[in-house]
Structure 1
Amino acid sequence: MKNTEKYSRSYFMPPVKSMKWMEKEYSTKAPLWCSVDLRDGNQALVVPLTLEEKLVYFQLLVKIGFKEIEVGFPAASETEYAFLRTLIEQDLIPDDVTIQVLTQSRDHIIEKTFECLKGVNKAVVHLYNSTSLAQREQVFKKSKEEIIDIAVTGAKLLQKYASETEGNFIFQYSPESFTGTELDFALDICNRVLDVWQPTADNQVIINLPATVSLSMPHVYASQIEFMSDHLNYRENVILSIHPHNDRGTGVADAELAMLAGGQRIEGTLFGNGERTGNVDIVTLALNMFTHGVDPQLDLENIPEIMATYERLTKMKVHERHPYAGKLVYTAFSGSHQDAITKGFKWREEKENENWKVPYLVIDPKDIGREYEGDIIRINSQSGKGGIGYLLEQQYSLDLPPKMRESFGYNVKNVSDQLNKELLPHEIYDIFINGYVNLKTPIEFIDYQFTKHDDFQTVLTIRINGDVQEISGVGNGRLDAISNALQTELGISYSDLVYKEHAQEIGSKSNAVSYIGITDINGTVYWGCGIDADIMNSSVKALFSAANNMLTYIQLPIQINSSLTIQ
């Protein structure tokens, strides 16, 4: 690409080595979650939420289990102000939920914020001002000391108005654009704010370090967080919060590594909505923890319902490949993937294993409200026998022999390839029924009679080209006798008969299902299936279906050696 010379590193490394986080494997407990959907997420919508929609969204977040919810910037607009007052006056905030509001470090804005908070049970007041080198030089044109003065002044104003306002308040400070701020300066400004607030064990405060713009690889952000965690004043009384954005597509990785580095609290949104490429996705973060056996302390057991409410209110769409939630993430088109997943399910059933280790599936879809049928296996020209066989077995109780699965799989893939489309389960079922089950052309089975002496003798009633005829055969069993009748009387030649049967239960009725494969003189195997309430009838129909497939394929003329046409 051109113009690479115009870009250079715009972040700052810690002045001392800060890499203890590398010694940890994963986070062993959930962070404090703070949803910023109703503020950071809402301001990024093409059409921001109405007051009524905000109330519905707030209830969704409470239902999921968020204990901290940023509800807006009440001094910014009448809608934001009215929403907060509605929550307070109508007593809509559960006792165990703390709301959070945002304010700039400006006297009249802080005053209006506290005015709006009157009567709240408990609230986090989130103070911020931008500290990055780029913002200081280009936007504010202020020195470091002038920027510190903005933060310190705001910190004192929070104390002043909190003491004059009914309610319980927790203070939070964010050096906005932290990732573009020199680390020694970021530490200095945070400590100056902490010196104003002087947190205690009974009156903790929050320092939030946002990747307002993601500027580095995740390990750099982790080192920045570790440096701050190690050097903040009053550290034992400070809740260290992180707020990653996703400009580089690494928001989740930034958050996970930052937690290893000392982050105790995470601000983010459902499905990552937010300015530009979005905030960190809390759904993904929480379910990543879940896959490591860590309870994320959020109820995500019905992702389809959560996603439907989110899409309806925000008018945003969750991508089909979105981690965990996307419509296609539990779907396999690849044949090798389908085969491995199918075998993984069977292994799990046989072993009754408690640990989830199904190939290609990092999570059990049922744990988040998804279903296997129609989700896990979908069929196109890239699919394989495993997935196609799995669909027939799960949805139609048809358990094909392995070699028949392979043969049928090629037929299905060819159809999909020719039509250039995905095949739905009912279409695959139709292909199987029309191509293998109870076939009547060119030979139709009508009836049979048996007599038993030293062996079995049969008289078969069949229809060929519209004529009803009888043929006879002898064998060591009923099916063997019928098979010999077909071969000796009709001149059909095959060997290596493969047989499988099982019950098929659909609804309140149960049928017998038989599968038969026969091999011609060239080694080609032809398959047939018979379905009937009677097991013997299903076996005979399977044999006739296999023979009909062979006759149709090789266009063998049928010669009746001795027969009686029934008038």
Structure 2
Amino acid sequence: MISQPASKYPRPATVQLPDREWPNRTIDQAPVWLSTDLRDGNQALFEPMSRERKLSLFQELVRVGFKEIEVGFPSASQIDFDVVRELVTQGLIPDDVTPMVITQARADLIERTVQSLAGAPRAIVHLYNATSPLWRRVVFDMSVEQVMQLVEEHVGLLKRLTSQHPETQWTLQYSPETFCMTELEVSLQACNTAIRAWEAGPGRKIIINLPTTVEVTTPNVFADQIEWMNRRLERREHVVLSVHPHNDRGTGVACAEQALLAGAERVEGCLFGNGERSGNVDLVTLALNLYTHGIHPRLDLSDINGLARLIEESTGLPIHPRHPYVGDLVFTAFSGSHQDAIKKGMAAQRADGPWEVPYLPIDPADIGRSYDGIIRVNAQSGKGGIAYLLEQAHGVVMPRRMQIEFSSVVQRAADASEAEISPEALWHLFDATYLARPHDPENPLAYVAHHLDGDGEQQRIELELGGVQARRVLRGVGNGPIDATVRALGLPLTVHAYEERSLGSGAGATALAIVEISCAGVPGTRFGAGRHANLATASILALLSAASRALAEAPRAEQAPQRVPA
């Protein structure tokens, strides 16, 4: 139990915005995306990325479709400086991609930052300084007036330095770090100071980036803060309003989405949510959330598995198996009720129709995921999931009552193993329960051979069995192979249902026969299955399978069929 009183942590202030409009809006287009994987994400790693990994990840970010990429902190890292210079001098930045670098509001760092980008066709310099009361008092010992002087002075310096490189189209991004903990009037004053010092206007945009440096409020409060700022920023038509949510409260995605409703046009974050503390907002989740609502995210996430593996290799950090969209288990159902709904949804889904499958908000195929792992079997699973796996992997379509019967077999196996049952193990269970029985020498109804003849109305069978008892030949006449076999066995069997299916296609196809029988003295019914290239043989094997299963529970006097000398 938490021992400290709740009063130890002050409640964050709310925003007085009674006429807020963002709750009534909807998102109808993707924002401008800025990947900060190479900077914010990199500085959060146990071992920062090498030059080679940075360059490889940059190329992947370009492939995915990012048009703005934060490539480093060149004034703080020699590797970052060298990577930025290599990207610029070697022409590795596509014409439609703009690199961004970050710097604190310090003269020597700003000078080094401009040097790193010199010669680039376009560049964004991200200048930031902390503005909240705690940082002003404890970290910098500065008054509000001193903070504004710092902003004006250093934005002015950046303007002068960048003007010496007219070959580059420069954009300033200004961030009042710790925005979400800063008085709104102070944040507004800092941003407007930067806007004026940069002389934002026609052809000279400025990005105002408002971060949840440390997420301390609920997403609706952050949205109120964004809408409040959006209404009051000077020269708004020349401002790109951006947000940079972190995830300290676990609501980074919600903060970003509600900020877009409140007027933000741009989102900074990392793929799969890497970043300091609890991470930056997850851009993949944000983008695919849009996609599930019919909005193109303007990012290519069609090979999400490959992207995930590259990010894991670049960062050395594993992606959680339950991570939205990309986790190994996010499209996997173990629960029986979930499996049944998914199985029915997949069967009803039309190739040309909208995606409507229960429990699957997105078609896994759209992001390069397969359907193989959608349903997996453990002790929590049900008949629907078991049937789905057998159908997908082996083409076996079980009647519903057979699904119920076989699910109890699987349940016992899962309980005994206390582990997940693989599709291969599931098939072995099906084979052992049904297909293998007529071939088991310990089975008194072990199949050896048969011979059928007769006209269209009557079939005669000579059935040779060879179980643990002496080999014997049984004879019977019926209106078909199954009826003739029942009569040959001379057992109190009743056939209730028969189905046949083809497994595979072409010359290698085999027939699968399924029968449901009852046996006097044995409650309920039993299923059997037989597989053979010849349909009649498959039918006889299926009957022997079902009969042997019923006999295993019948009184001893009924277990042996009559013996006929060979």
TMscore range, shorter length: over 0.9
Alignment check: 8 A CA contact 2:452 2:459 kept: no
1:104: Cα distance to partner? 1.1
* Structure 2 counterparts to residues 404-483 of structure 1, below 5 A: 404-440=402-438, 441-445=443-447, 446-452=449-455, 455-483=458-486
- Give how far 1:378 is off: 0.6
RMSD of Structure 2 on Structure 1 (CA)? 1.7
Q: 1:280 to 1:345 in 2, by over 3 A?
A: same
User: Which residue number corresponds to residue 200 of structure 1?
Assistant: 201
> CA 1:428–1:215 in 2, change beyond 3 Å: closer, same or farther?
same
How far is the alpha carbon of 1:449 from its aligned partner?
Answer: 2.6
What CA distance in whole angstroms lies between the structure 2 residues aligned with 1:540 and 1:245?
Answer: 66
CA distance in 2, matches of 1:157, 1:246: 33
Deviation readout 1:456-495 (Å, 9 max, x if unpaired): 3333222242522222223232321211222x2xxx2232
Which one-letter code corresponds to 2:192 in the other structure?
N
Structure 1 residues 379-429: Cα deviation after superposition (integer angstroms, max 9, x where no partner): 101111111111111111111111111111111121011011111111110
Please give the alpha-carbon distance, in whole angstroms, between the structure 2 residues aligned to 1:54 and 1:356.
37
The amino acid that maps onto 1:226 is E
Equivalent residues in 2 for 1:250-289, closer than 5 Å: 250-289=251-290
Residue in structure 2 matched with residue 232 of structure 1 by the alignment: 233
Change (3 A) 1:13 1:433: same
Q: Answer yes or no: is the 8 Å Cα contact 2:209–2:241 preserved in 1.
A: yes
1:515 maps to which residue? Answer: 514
Tell me what 1:97 maps to.
97
**Alignment gaps of 5+ in structure 1:** none
Task: State whether residues 495 and 515 of structure 2, in contact with CA within 8 Å, keep that contact through their aligned partners in structure 1.
Answer: no
Q: Check 1:16–1:342 CA distance in 2 against 1; reply closer, same or farther (3 A cut).
A: closer
> One-letter code of the match for 1:415?
A
CA drift of 1:277 comes to: 0.2
Q: What is aligned with 1:365?
A: 364
Matches within 5 A, 1:88-167: 88-165=88-165, 166-167=167-168
Matching of residues 35-50 of structure 1 within 5 Å: 35-50=35-50
Q: Deviations over 1:44-66 (max 9, x none)?
A: 00000011110001011001000
| Residues 450 and 478, structure 1, Cα contact 8 Å, conserved in 2 | no
AA in 2 matched with 1:246: N
Measured in 1, the distance between the counterparts of 2:240 and 2:560 equals: 90
Deviation at 1:75, TM superposition (A): 0.6
Secondary structure of 1:564's counterpart equals coil
What is the one-letter code of the residue matched to 1:504? L
How far apart are residue 201 of structure 1 and its match?
A: 3.2
Q: Aligned equivalents of 2:463 and 2:506: distance in 1?
A: 33
1:325-404 equivalence runs, <5 A? 325-349=326-350, 352=351, 354-373=353-372, 375-404=373-402
Separation in 2 of the partners of 1:250 and 1:53? 30
Corresponding residue SS for 2:47: coil
The answer as to whether partners of 2:452 and 2:481 remain within 8 angstroms in 1 is: no
In the alignment, is the contact (CA less than 8 A) between 1:18 and 1:224 conserved in 2? no
Q: For residues 548 and 172 of structure 1, do their structure 2 counterparts lie closer, same or farther at Cα, with a shift above 3 Å needed? A: same
Matches within 5 A, 1:488-567: 488=490, 492-505=491-504, 509-521=508-520, 522-554=522-554, 556-557=556-557, 563-566=563-566
Structure 2: runs of 5 or more not aligned: none
Residues in 2 aligned to 1:10 and 1:101: alpha-carbon distance in whole angstroms: 35
For residues 214 and 14 of structure 2, what CA distance do their matches in structure 1 show? Answer: 16
Aligned residues: 558
Please give the alpha-carbon distance, in whole angstroms, between the structure 2 residues aligned to 1:565 and 1:387. 47
Q: C-alpha deviations, 1:299-328, integer Å up to 9, x for none? A: 000011001111111100000000000000
Deviation of residue 189 (structure 1)?
Answer: 1.3
Against the structure 1 CA distance between its residues 76 and 562, is the aligned structure 2 distance closer, same or farther, given a 3 Å change threshold?
closer
Cα pair distance change 1:535/1:561, threshold 3 Å: closer
| Paired amino acid for 2:358 | P
User: Which letter does structure 2 place at the counterpart of 1:126?
Assistant: H
1:150-178 deviations in Å (ceiling 9; x for gaps): 11111101110011124221011000000
Residue pair 1:11, 1:179 contacting (<8 A) in 2 also? no
Query: Matched residue of 1:230: which SS?
Result: helix
Deviation at 1:290, TM superposition (A): 0.3
C-alpha contact 1:209 1:242 (8 A) present in aligned 2? yes
What residue number does 2:178 align with?
A: 177
Partners in 1 of 2:364 and 2:168 — Cα distance?
Answer: 43
Aligned partner of 1:77 in structure 2 is 77
Shift of 1:197: 2.0
Corresponding letter in the other structure for 1:457 = R
The 1:16/1:423 distance shift into structure 2, 3 A limit, reads: closer
Change (3 A) 1:96 1:559: closer
Partners of 1:267 and 1:359 lie apart in 2 by 32
Q: Do the aligned residues in 2 keep the contact of 1:13 with 1:183 (CA within 8 Å)? A: no
Q: Does the 8 Å contact 1:333/1:380 carry over to 2?
A: yes
Aligned residue identity for 1:292: H
Structure 1 vs Structure 2: percent identity of aligned residues? 42
Bigger drift between 502-511 and 85-94 goes to 502-511
For 1:507 and 1:266, how far apart are their aligned partners in 2?
Answer: 54
Question: Structure 1 pair 453/239, CA: closer, same or farther in 2 (3 Å)?
Answer: closer
**Could you tell me how far apart the structure 2 residues matched to 1:109 and 1:255 are?**
30
1:243 matched to 2:244 = yes
Distance 1:518 1:378 in 2: 30
Structure 1 stretches of 4+ with a deviation exceeding 6 A read: none
**Could you say if the C-alpha distance between residues 141 and 454 of structure 1 is closer, same or farther in structure 2, counting changes exceeding 3 Å?**
closer
Contact 2:551 2:559 in 1 (8 A): no
SS in 2 for 1:554: coil
Deviation for aligned residue 1:508? 6.1
Q: TM-score, normalised by structure 1?
A: 0.95
Q: What is the CA distance between 1:10 and its match in structure 2?
A: 5.5
**1:198 and 1:234 in contact (8 A); partners too:** no
Give the secondary structure class of the aligned counterpart of 2:121: strand
